[in-house]
């Protein structure tokens, strides 16, 4: 699946056609939000893993459920709140990775996001790569390769975004 087959430009495929990561999908209103959510559903994304705090942004879940209902798609939504620019506890990261792995094993297509798709999302993707055989250094190098194809990388050149988040990936153990 090519980079063009993304619902939004501010996203990247971790596993093409199966696991996508990026920014908050609810960064629109009304008809624009409906169209944006449809673009995820059109690609078969049916599991949304939200890394934002509950009060951080307006919820897109009601409209997502509505749109999924029109297409008879079984949506799964799970929130693992991580404070912006921070890292989760190891237990929380294991729970996130378990959710991703079990969803993929069940044939679901996963979208992981935070607000900007940079720090918390990059940390999660980095730890996912370590869990699946990469070293921390290899995971960060792969993330850098994917991230450079995301337009906002010109303003935010690194994902994960903080030194603490990068160290979390480098120190992550399966």
Any long-range contacts for 97-104 (C-beta under 8 Å, 24+ apart)? 97/124, 97/127, 97/128, 97/131, 99/49, 100/19, 100/49, 100/128, 101/131, 103/47, 103/76, 104/15, 104/18, 104/19
Question: What was the pLDDT predicted at 159?
Answer: 98
Distance between CA atoms of residues 159 and 144, nearest Å: 7
Q: How much of the chain is in helix, strand and coil states, percent to nearest 5?
A: 45, 10, 45
Kindly state whether residue 5 falls inside one of the protein's structural domains. no
Kindly state whether residue 84 falls inside one of the protein's structural domains. yes
Kindly state whether residue 64 falls inside one of the protein's structural domains. yes
Question: What was the pLDDT predicted at 66?
Answer: 96
Distance between CA atoms of residues 163 and 138, nearest Å: 16
Please state the φ and ψ torsions of residue 122, each to the nearest 5 degrees: -60, -40
Kindly state whether residue 6 falls inside one of the protein's structural domains. no
Range of the domain at 150: 11-171
Question: What was the pLDDT predicted at 27?
Answer: 84
Question: What was the pLDDT predicted at 20?
Answer: 99
DSSP assigned state of 116: S
In which band, very low, low, confident or very high, does the pLDDT at 3 lie, cut at 50, 70 and 90? Answer: low
Query: pTM to 2 decimals?
Result: 0.96
Kindly state whether residue 145 falls inside one of the protein's structural domains. yes
Kindly state whether residue 55 falls inside one of the protein's structural domains. yes
**How many folded domains does the chain comprise?**
1
Please check the confidence at residue 160 and state whether its pLDDT lies above 60: yes
Kindly state whether residue 3 falls inside one of the protein's structural domains. no
Distance between CA atoms of residues 124 and 36, nearest Å: 23
CATH, residue 162: 3.90.190.10
In which band, very low, low, confident or very high, does the pLDDT at 2 lie, cut at 50, 70 and 90? Answer: low
CA angle 6, 9, 10 (to 5 degrees): 110
pLDDT digit string (tens) for 94-127? 999 999 999 999 999 999 999 999 999 999 999 9
Please check the confidence at residue 84 and state whether its pLDDT lies above 60: yes
Question: What was the pLDDT predicted at 97?
Answer: 99
Question: What was the pLDDT predicted at 174?
Answer: 76
Please say whether the beta carbons of 131 and 110 come within 8 A.
no
Please say whether the beta carbons of 120 and 92 come within 8 A.
no
Kindly state whether residue 78 falls inside one of the protein's structural domains. yes
pLDDT digit string (tens) for 7-22? 999 999 999 999 999 9
pLDDT digit string (tens) for 46-67? 999 999 999 999 999 999 999 9
What are residue 50's DSSP bridge partners? 79, 113
The mean predicted confidence, pLDDT, of the chain is 96
């Amino acid at each position: 699946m090519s980079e063009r087959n993304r619902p939004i430009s501010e996203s990247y495929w971790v596993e093409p056609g199966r696991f996508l990561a990026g920014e908050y999908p609810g960064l629109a209103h009304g008809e624009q939000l409906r169209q944006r959510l449809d673009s995820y559903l059109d690609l078969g994304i049916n599991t949304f893993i939200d890394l934002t705090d509950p009060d951080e942004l307006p919820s897109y879940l009601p409209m997502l459920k509505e749109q999924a209902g029109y297409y008879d798609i079984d949506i799964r939504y799970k929130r693992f709140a991580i404070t912006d620019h921070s890292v989760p506890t190891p237990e929380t990261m294991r729970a996130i990775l378990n959710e991703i792995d079990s969803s993929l094993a069940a044939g679901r297509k996963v979208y992981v996001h935070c607000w900007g798709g940079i720090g918390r999302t990059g940390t999660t993707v980095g730890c996912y790569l370590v869990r699946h055989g990469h070293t921390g250094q290899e995971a960060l190098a792969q993330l850098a390769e994917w991230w450079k194809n995301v337009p906002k990388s010109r303003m935010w050149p690194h994902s994960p975004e903080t030194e603490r988040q990068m160290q979390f990936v480098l120190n992550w153990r399966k």
